[in-house]
Amino acid sequence: MEIVNYFKAKTVEEAYKKLQEDPSNLIIGGGAWLRLSSKTVNTAIDLEYVGLNQIKETENSIEIDAYVTLREVEKNEALSNLFSGIVNKGISGIMGVALRNLVTVGGSVVGKYSFSDFITPLLAVNTEVVLYKAGRMSLEDFLKLRTKEKDILLKIIIQKEEVLGYYYKMKKTGLDFAVVNVGVTNTLGHLKIVVGARPSLAAFAVKAMDYVNNQETVTDEVIEETANIAINELKFSTNSKASKEYRIELAKVYIRRGLKEVTK
């Protein structure tokens, strides 16, 4: 990537204005993913001085600013005590500490990376995003959003609900990307199943969730059927990491394990 100008914004307004000035202008988070690209950027806009670097715990939620690094989120104690620690666990499986000290929440959410070990657990709990222009919306809606309008992610908000969680990243080697990743949660009896790196972006297994949430008890047979519905409704495919068939088998195993774990 070639950056022609580097702009350290002092306010979000200033950053937003600069972002609109040229189609190639962009916000830079940790820059770790951007630097792999070959594009030329007129102005890279740095958010270091705009004050988006806090993790705030309120009575009902954890609010994490966009410029916070994944390492800070991973180490956050309040978050590690919620949802069986699946958000922290997801992050801890990403490369090494050096990278996690650099990469940001903003870059990791806005990038909508299909392999993301951050988005899958966030989707399995109750997460919203707050954008400067588009405002507040669920993470699910944000992931589906297809717009050319350039915006700035200000923060994510995670509701502090009573959740039992499970997260598993299947990878071939310690530092690798996920072959498939699975998040399963139980919020006071309501089950959610998320599968990412299929290799497409994390998504809910909606039909499987409908089925399992309408059963009186979650028996082994129900778990088996739920996993079957999930792998049939979600789209899996082949890439250099794994075949479609292998991913389907893995997803089935981890969905089963997740359901067992959060319902035992």
By the rule CB under 6 A, 94 interacts with ligand FAD: yes
Q: Of how many residues is the chain composed?
A: 264
| DSSP letters for 13-68 | HHHHHHHHHSTT-EEESS-TTGGGS--EEEEEEE-TTTT---EEE-SSEEEEETTS
Q: Three-class SS of residue 233? A: helix
Restricted to residues 35-64, the positions that interact with ligand FAD (CB under 6 A) are none
- Which range binds ligand FAD by CB under 6 A, 77-85, 104-112, 185-193, 233-241? 104-112
151 Cα distance to chain centroid:
18
Report the C-alpha dihedral over residues 24, 29, 35, 36, rounded to 10 degrees.
-100
Ranked by CB distance to ligand FAD, the top (closest) residue is: 107
Quote the CA–CA distance of 66 and 152 in Å, as a whole number: 9
DSSP β-bridge partners for residue 194 = 183, 204
Restricted to residues 11-40, the positions that interact with ligand FAD (CB under 6 A) are 26-34
- Which range binds ligand FAD by CB under 6 A, 4-12, 81-89, 99-107, 134-142? 99-107
By the rule CB under 6 A, 115 interacts with ligand FAD: yes
- Least Cβ distance, residue 215 to ligand FAD (angstroms): 32
> Which of 64, 103, 123, 182 is in the footprint of ligand FAD by CB under 6 A?
103
> Which of 152, 194, 229, 262 is in the footprint of ligand FAD by CB under 6 A?
152
- Which range binds ligand FAD by CB under 6 A, 114-122, 201-209, 211-219, 243-251? 114-122
- Least Cβ distance, residue 181 to ligand FAD (angstroms): 8
Start-to-end Cα distance in the chain? 49
Quote the CA–CA distance of 224 and 221 in Å, as a whole number: 5
Q: Which residues bind ligand FAD (CB under 6 A)?
A: 26-34, 66, 70, 94-95, 99, 103-104, 106-108, 110-111, 113, 115-118, 152-153, 177
